[in-house]
């Protein structure tokens, strides 16, 4: 059931994270914790176990590692730890977050191939296979599951099939999808799945996590190009010291995430949450289309996470004024992030329900100035 917004929270965050959280998640941060305390470390271990349960069936060969920082920190920990010095990474790109993987890999000195499909087209599975067939030196393939640059839902199952045919390690940036869209890591053959506390599980920012195949993780020993982002060493300490982090952990954020996981379970798990997010997105798009807005992506490519809309065809429209009017009415949206069109974005995730989308549409009607 929807919870009321706290008095000091005057708007709903319609973004892809950070996002609107429940009162009970926020309240979980009111207690202080010691990082060495057994009670706290039991919370950490419980989180790791429940993440494995959310990752699909037959996950005995997998483990979960928590990592301080934003989601990007976790992505970099995987890229910098999984690729050997002689490794070669292929990244499928159709937005800013795929490009970010390429950027971090090249800064780390990793030989990288960027297969760019543009901003409004799903990643190119045929080109992936062509590259893998022609270049046996490629060791790892990375893809963003939900590219929140646009709201694109990439065909991760098709990508996984080809990656495994060629025997490569598979990295999935599921930052904005895990917990809100069903993903079975074992069935897909994912080696590293990366996500963050402040996305579909509806926690708050401060750490991310990696669900890794134990064999792939074991290969990472001694490979890390960073002390603090050494994924293998982080996992080893958590395993051997019963949930202990190597360095100071974000204790309040961890406790909030524990509460968020309980609320995901109470909602009925990922399947029920995905259904709510899809209902949110459906109510949003139908309402916005009725008042003249057009979506950037077609329905086949659209995720239930965030939706891009074209600007209205009017010289009077400015995003800054539109944003300000909506914020004053209790809604915060996102600016566009692509270069080929003028767009803005509206998220469908968090402690948000279809009635919130209906209220947003009514607010857009009331605040029309173009």
| Alpha-carbon torsion (214, 141, 208, 5), positive or negative | negative
Q: What is the DSSP string of 86-142?
A: T-EEEEEESSHHHHHHHHHHHHTT-EEEEEE--SSS---HHHHHHHHHH-TT--EEE
**Percent of the chain with pLDDT strictly greater than 70:** 98
Average pLDDT, the chain: 96
Sign of CA dihedral 167, 173, 351, 45: positive
Can you tell me whether residue 211 is helix, strand or coil?
strand
Domains delineated in the chain: 12-20+269-366 (3.90.1150.10), 23-265 (3.40.640.10)
Q: Where are the beta strands (DSSP E) in 2-46?
A: 12-13
Is the pLDDT reported for residue 5 higher than 70?
A: no
- Is 345 annotated to bind a ligand? Reply is yes
Q: How confident is the model at residue 318 (pLDDT cuts 50, 70, 90)?
A: very high
What counts of helices (H) and strands (E) characterise the chain? 13, 14
Banded pLDDT at 8 (limits 50, 70, 90): low
Q: CA of 296: how far to CAs of 66, 284, 307, 341, in Å?
A: 35, 14, 8, 9
Q: Which residue has the tokens 């990474």?
A: 89
Which pLDDT does position 6 carry in this prediction?
45
DSSP state of 220: T
pLDDT value at 17 more than 90: no
What pLDDT does residue 294 have? 97
Instruction: Look up residue 81 and give its two tokens.
Output: 């730890």
Neighbours of 314 (CB within 10 A): 10
Q: Are 261 and 202 in contact (CB under 8 A)?
A: no
Buried b (16+ CB within 10 A) or exposed e, 117-130: bebbebbbbeebbe
| Range 50-54 contact pairs with CB under 8 angstroms and sequence separation of 24 or more | 50/261, 50/265, 51/209, 51/211, 51/261, 52/211, 54/178, 54/179, 54/264, 54/269, 54/270
Q: What is the distance between the alpha carbons of residues 175 and 180, in angstroms, rounded to a whole number?
A: 10
- The whole-number average pLDDT for the span 69-81 is 97
The residue among 128, 43, 57 whose CA lies nearest residue 93 is 128
DSSP class of residue 178 equals B
Tens digit of each residue's pLDDT (9 = 90 or more) over 158-181? 999 999 999 999 999 999 999 999
């Amino acid at each position: 059931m929807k919870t009321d917004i706290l008095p000091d929270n005057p708007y709903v965050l319609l973004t892809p994270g950070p996002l609107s959280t429940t009162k009970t998640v926020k309240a979980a941060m009111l207690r202080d914790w010691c990082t060495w305390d057994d009670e706290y470390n039991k919370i950490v271990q419980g989180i790791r176990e429940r993440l494995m349960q959310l990752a699909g069936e037959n996950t005995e060969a997998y483990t979960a590692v928590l990592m301080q920082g934003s989601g990007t920190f976790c992505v970099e920990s995987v890229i910098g730890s999984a690729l050997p010095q002689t490794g070669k990474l292929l990244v499928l790109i159709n937005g800013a977050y795929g490009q970010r993987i390429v950027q971090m890999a090249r800064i780390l000195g990793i030989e990288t191939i960027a297969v760019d499909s543009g901003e409004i087209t799903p990643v190119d599975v045929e080109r992936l296979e062509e590259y893998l067939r022609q270049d046996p030196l490629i060791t790892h393939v990375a893809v963003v599951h939900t590219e929140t640059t646009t709201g694109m839902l990439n065909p991760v199952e098709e990508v996984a099939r080809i990656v495994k045919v060629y025997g490569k390690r598979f990295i999935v940036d599921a930052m904005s999808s895990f917990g809100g869209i069903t993903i079975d890591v074992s069935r897909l053959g994912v080696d590293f799945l990366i996500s963050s506390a402040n996305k579909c599980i509806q926690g708050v920012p401060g750490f991310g996590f990696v669900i890794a195949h134990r064999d792939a993780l074991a290969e990472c020993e001694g490979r890390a190009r960073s002390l603090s982002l050494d994924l293998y060493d982080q996992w080893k300490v958590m395993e051997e010291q019963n949930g202990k982090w190597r360095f100071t952990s974000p204790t309040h954020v961890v406790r909030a995430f524990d509460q968020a996981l309980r609320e995901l379970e109470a909602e009925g798990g990922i399947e029920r949450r995905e259904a709510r997010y899809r209902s949110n997105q459906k109510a949003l798009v139908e309402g916005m289309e009725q008042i003249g807005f057009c979506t950037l992506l077609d329905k086949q490519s659209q995720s239930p996470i965030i939706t891009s809309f074209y600007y209205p065809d009017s010289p009077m429209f400015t995003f800054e004024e539109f944003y300000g009017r909506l914020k004053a009415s209790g809604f915060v949206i996102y600016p566009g992030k692509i270069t080929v069109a003028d767009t803005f974005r509206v998220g469908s995730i968090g402690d948000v329900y279809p009635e919130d989308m209906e209220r947003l549409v009514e607010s857009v009607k009331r605040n029309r100035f173009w």
